[in-house]
A and B are shown apart, each in its own frame.
Chain A
Amino acid sequence: QVALRESGPALVKPTQTLTLTCTFSGFSLSTTGMRVGWIRQSPGKALEWLARIDWDDDKYYRPSLKTRLTVSRDTSKNQVVLTMTNMDPVDSATYFCARVVGRYSGSSGNYYYYMDVWGEGTTVTVSS
């Protein structure tokens, strides 16, 4: 059974670096086709996809946050780590990690990606 869980600090100060860990089970990120994404949700706001890391170590970042984000993996520990630098109060949010499924659509000729299993999320507040 696939499961993911986020961990990290609940409170960080402005300008600090946030480090979040996603520990997962039920799949291996070294298996072809496996992917893990990070998504956040500010209070009362919509979801925002931040980053993705794939089985071949390819990485993708939200363009507006690219200079602040780093995603990495430790396949031996079944973990994915997200770091976000220069935290600001507007970055206060619940951060989710999720397994990302990639499928090829014959009708459109595109690959599409969606999250099939989510962690419960971890809430981060940025405040001095």
Chain B
Amino acid sequence: QSVLTQPPSVSGAPGQRVTISCTGSSSNIGAGYEVHWYQQLPGAAPKVLIYGNDNRPSGVPDRFSGSKSGTSASLAITGLQAEDEGDYYCQSYDSSLSGLGVFGTGTKVTVL
């Protein structure tokens, strides 16, 4: 059972901006732990998009951006493209998990 809650789905037309929220609590995001975001395209393994709240690994387009405030975090995708269609997961640390991370419930992004 995930302790980070995401909307099940978001959608947008090509070129639009979409945001995905990740809501936690005082034992994870609200405790100051960083948030990371992964993209999982159909049939593929997850790939890190954002780490440490708002950092992009090399090779990730600047259309993807992350932010964090209080007990929540957000991933924004600007200039939505067809190849962005897939599942997106946030991840943070929770004090109940003894050295491991906790993932969000996942959000399916559909490009209309």
User: How many CB-defined contacts (below 8 Å) exist between A and B?
Assistant: 78
Q: Is the CB of A49 within 8 A of B33?
A: no
The size of the chain A interface, using a CB distance under 8 A, is 29
Q: Is the CB of B89 within 8 A of A47?
A: yes
Q: Is the CB of B104 within 8 A of A114?
A: no
B2, B57, B93, B96: the one contacting A46 at CB < 8 Å is B2
CB neighbours of A37 from chain B (8 A):
100
For chain A, residues 112 to 128, give those with C-beta under 8 angstroms from any C-beta of chain B. 112-116, 118-121
CA distance A19 to B103 in the complex (A): 24
For chain B, give the interface size range.
20 to 34
The majority secondary structure among interface residues of chain B is loop
The majority secondary structure among interface residues of chain A is strand
B36, B44, B100: the one contacting A51 at CB < 8 Å is B100
Whether A46 touches B98, Cβ cut-off 8 Å, given contacts A112-B33, A113-B93, A119-B45, is no
CB neighbours of A55 from chain B (8 A):
none
Q: Digit string of B62-91 for contact with A (CB within 8 Å is 1, else 0)?
A: 000000000000000000000000000101
